[in-house]
Amino acid sequence: MALLTIAKLGNPLLRQVAQAVDPNEIGTQAFQQFIDDMFETMQGAEGIGLAAPQVSRSQQLVVMACPGDNGFPQTVLVNPRIVYYGPHQVENWEGCLSVDGLRGKVARPSMVRVHGLDRHGSPLDFEATDLFAVCIQHELDHLNGKLFLDRMTDLATLTQLDEFDRFWKKEHATVI
Ligand code: ZN
């Protein structure tokens, strides 16, 4: 296992559209090791999601995990796409491991249906709601070169972390 370096805001890789993963690559030891390294990196940085472009690999791969009552299970998505967005919006404070020290409010659909492959290359088709749905949308944005900052409709909520802790901490923040 290895901790990977997280690309930060301004790194051009974060603005590229990621390449699809060749399904033949999924079963290789190198790819499986990379998935494990991504989980270790995400957990080491106390995030709940990480996309491959954030560790300077332009491939359509994300890992996510959020323990706890309102969380979701450990999830790997390869070549994912959202095939349906629910009609209701939910607004959350979001942060990002590639955007140090900032939080901002983002409204997103509260439910999505996802197609893709799991870490063994098996097809996935599932619906996610609430925090899981938000995390999926945030991570899939990374695969399309988008950051949560691009999704903010009102930059007035953009907040530095120390001021967030001072004024807004009672509201839950999602650091993805
Ligand atoms: Zn992010």
Q: What is the mean pLDDT of each run of 10 residues along the chain (176 residues)?
A: 94 98 98 98 96 98 94 97 97 95 95 98 97 97 98 94 88 63
The pLDDT of residue 120 is: 97
Distances, alpha carbon 167 to alpha carbons 102, 107, 164, 171, in Å: 13, 20, 5, 9
**pTM surpassing 0.85?**
yes
Question: How many angstroms is it from 64 CA to the middle of ligand 1?
Answer: 11
Q: Annotated catalytic residue: which of 127, 139, 163, 171?
A: 139
Question: How many angstroms is it from 139 CA to the middle of ligand 1?
Answer: 6
The Cα–Cα gap between 104 and 154 comes to 9
The pLDDT of residue 174 is: 63
Question: How many angstroms is it from 149 CA to the middle of ligand 1?
Answer: 10
How open is the CA angle 62-98-79, to the nearest 5 degrees? 20
The pLDDT of residue 6 is: 98
What residues does the ion ligand 1 have nearby, CB within 5 Å? Answer: 96, 176
How open is the CA angle 158-162-165, to the nearest 5 degrees? 85
Q: Are strands 123-129 and 111-117 parallel, antiparallel or unpaired?
A: antiparallel
Active site residue 139: yes
The pLDDT of residue 47 is: 94
The pLDDT of residue 172 is: 63
Q: Are 137 and 109 in contact (CB under 8 A)?
A: yes
Q: Which domains does the chain have, with CATH numbers?
A: 12-171 (3.90.45.10)
